[in-house]
Amino acid sequence: MKDTELNRIINIPTTTLSDWKKKDTDNWRKITYELLQSYTKEELEKRVDAIKLLKGIK
């Protein structure tokens, strides 16, 4: 999934995602980035929608 798609789904700026991508592998930002990237676009959208519904986030 491209960073622009992650930005659209979860609203993390692409510059932030780019920075996270460049971090050392044991850095929490790199781990978070890799975790987000491990989902397909459809999986991530479903998870984000479910969280928004459960937490009442628009």
Q: Dump pLDDT digits (tens) for 9-42.
A: 999 999 999 999 998 888 999 999 999 999 999 9
Burial 1-30 (b: 16+ CB within 10 A, else e): eebeebeebeeeeeeebeebeeeeeeeeeb
Query: What pLDDT, on a 0 to 100 scale, did the predictor assign at position 25?
Result: 81
Query: What pLDDT, on a 0 to 100 scale, did the predictor assign at position 47?
Result: 97
Query: What pLDDT, on a 0 to 100 scale, did the predictor assign at position 26?
Result: 86
Domain count for the chain:
1
Q: Dump pLDDT digits (tens) for 39-53.
A: 999 999 999 999 999
Structural domain harbouring 23: 3-55
